[in-house]
Amino acid sequence: SHVGPSWPDELFASAGSLSHPEAAHTLTAMTLLRAALRMGRPAAAAMAAPRPSAAVTFAKPRTFATRSMPRFGHNLEDHYDMAEYMCKMHSPLGEYLIWAVLGSCAVTTLGPLLHSNYYFTGRFLPKDQGNTQLCDDSW
């Protein structure tokens, strides 16, 4: 019992001879396939290589100091781009880290100043309008 031609060599060989029992059916299928391929080629070519738009065609190449075109919008973009932040749904860890960095800057700047005041005068902060140890006649 003959099951049918195997793909692809026997299929094309049997399509050429009409003495084969399935030759008429294969010939019709191949004709339809060729017609479909012919009809689909222009659409496939258009999809494969899209034509550049007018904005891209006249665009100048970007250099180091090229200014972008202004995009006039509104604050809704920010609202929708950072929705979690705007609705306070984000983790506060980033904000805590920023405050920790600011606090460490203040401590490392003011801490040694206050400590040197305490070491030399016995006070962290001097009294307002207080006298100093440097007088005019001590030079």
Instruction: Provide the residue count of the chain.
Output: 139
Residues sharing a CB contact under 8 Å with residue 20, sequence separation 6 or more, in sequence order: 5, 14, 26
The pLDDT of residue 26? 64
Q: Quick check: pTM over 0.85?
A: no
CA distances for 92 relative to 22, 66, 81, angstroms:
74, 37, 18
Alpha helix segments (H runs only) across 2-92 = 9-16, 23-48, 54-57, 76-81, 83-86
Question: pLDDT 10s digit of each residue in the chain, 139 long?
Answer: 555 555 555 555 554 555 555 556 666 777 877 888 788 777 666 666 656 555 555 667 888 888 877 777 666 766 677 777 777 788 889 889 999 999 999 999 999 999 999 999 899 998 887 776 665 665 5
Q: Give the dihedral of Cα atoms 80, 85, 88, 91; nearest 10 deg.
A: 140
